[in-house]
Amino acid sequence: MRVHVLTDTPPEPGVLRPALVLLLLMTLLLGLIYPLAVSGIGQLLFPQQAGGSLMQRDGRVVGSALLGQVFKGPQYFQGRPSGAGSSGYDAASSSGSNYGPTSKALMERIAGDAERLSQDQPGQAIPADLLTASGSGLDPHISPAAAEYQVARIAASRGLPADRVRLLVREHTQGRALGFLGEPAVNVLTLNLALDAAGRKDATGSP
């Protein structure tokens, strides 16, 4: 059997020195060396992700592939309601609405959004994610049903065949991870970028 030696030291300076020195060394190791090492290796291996998955068009940053943004125009797929910042999709102030399930304010917001959205497909049920705010307020995705709900509007406003728009939606839909994790999702920003690109190609005459 192991012998356990008891060496209780008097409180000071027996406790003070280890406490302060270990705290200082841990701070150096865990607060500086560790995050900087992850930064260095991360940027070497995965520069795009480490930099925030920024998307550029014509040399300008138009957003991040992982973050939603406000789309109001009828020619764009629209994302979910957002509680981030005062006007939504504030990527420097993420937040959900935090409305409880019995909240009057929540019901009023839903009724307002439903009235606006119902113009797209009068009489049809609106997919739930288009009427509910996400947890982050920056959800980059909508459900495939929510994309399908908007296809006719996009097609009409862009003068594209609906099936062409549907094809783009399919290309920007990711299935469940490993086939069973999470839910299928459509990335709104990359889809809208593809829509704009499709429009430009048509305008220049190439297929």
Partner 1 sequence: MTANGWLQILVFCGIAILLVRPLGGHILRVVEGQRHGLSRVFGPVERLFYRAAGVDPVGEQSWRGYALAMLAFNFAGFVLLYALLRTQQWLPLNPQGLPALSPHLAFNTAISFVTNTNWQSYGGETTMSYFSQMVGLTVQNFVSAATGIALAVALIRGFARRQAQALGNFWADLTRVTLYILLPLCLPYALFLVWQGVPQNLLPYTEATTLEGAKQLIAQGPIASQEAIKMLGTNGGGFMNANSAHPFENPTALSNMVQMLSIFAIGAALTNVFGRMVDDEKEGWAIFGAMGLLFLLGVGVAYWAETSANPLLQSAGVDTNLEGKEVRFGVPASILFAIITTAASCGAVNAMHDSLMPLAGMIPMINMQLGEVVIGGVGAGLYGMLLFVILAVFIAGLMVGRTPEYLGKKIEAREVKLTVLAILAAPLCILGFTSLAGVLDVGLVGLQDKGPHGFGEILYAYTSAAANNGSAFAGLTANSPFYNTTLGISMLLGRFAIIIPMLAIAGSLAAKNTVAPSPGTFPTNNGLFVALLVGVVLIVGGLTFFPALALGPIAEHFALLQGSRY
Of 110-139, binders to partner 1 (CB under 8 A) are 110-111, 114, 125-126, 128-129, 131-139
Q: How far is CA 129 from CA 21, 82, 182, in A?
A: 52, 11, 14
Distance of CA 187 to the CA centre of its chain: 9
User: Angle at CA 82, nearest 5°, toward 78 and 83?
Assistant: 170
For residue 168, the minimal CB distance to partner 1 (Å) is 15
For residue 148, the minimal CB distance to partner 1 (Å) is 14
| Max CA pair span of the chain | 86
Task: By CB under 8 A, name the one of 59, 86, 104, 159 that touches partner 1.
Answer: 104
Q: Which residues, 150 to 179, sit near partner 1 by CB under 8 A?
A: 176-178
- Say if CB 130 and CB 117 are below 8 A apart: yes
Q: Which residues, 32 to 61, sit near partner 1 by CB under 8 A?
A: 32, 34-35, 37-39, 41-43, 45-46, 49-54, 60-61
Structure tokens at 147: 């994309």
For residue 162, the minimal CB distance to partner 1 (Å) is 21
Residue placing its CB nearer to partner 1 in the complex, 19 or 163: 19
Question: Judged by CB under 8 A, does residue 84 bind partner 1?
Answer: yes
Among 184, 167, 169, 189, residue whose Cα is nearest residue 78: 189
Residue placing its CB nearer to partner 1 in the complex, 32 or 162: 32
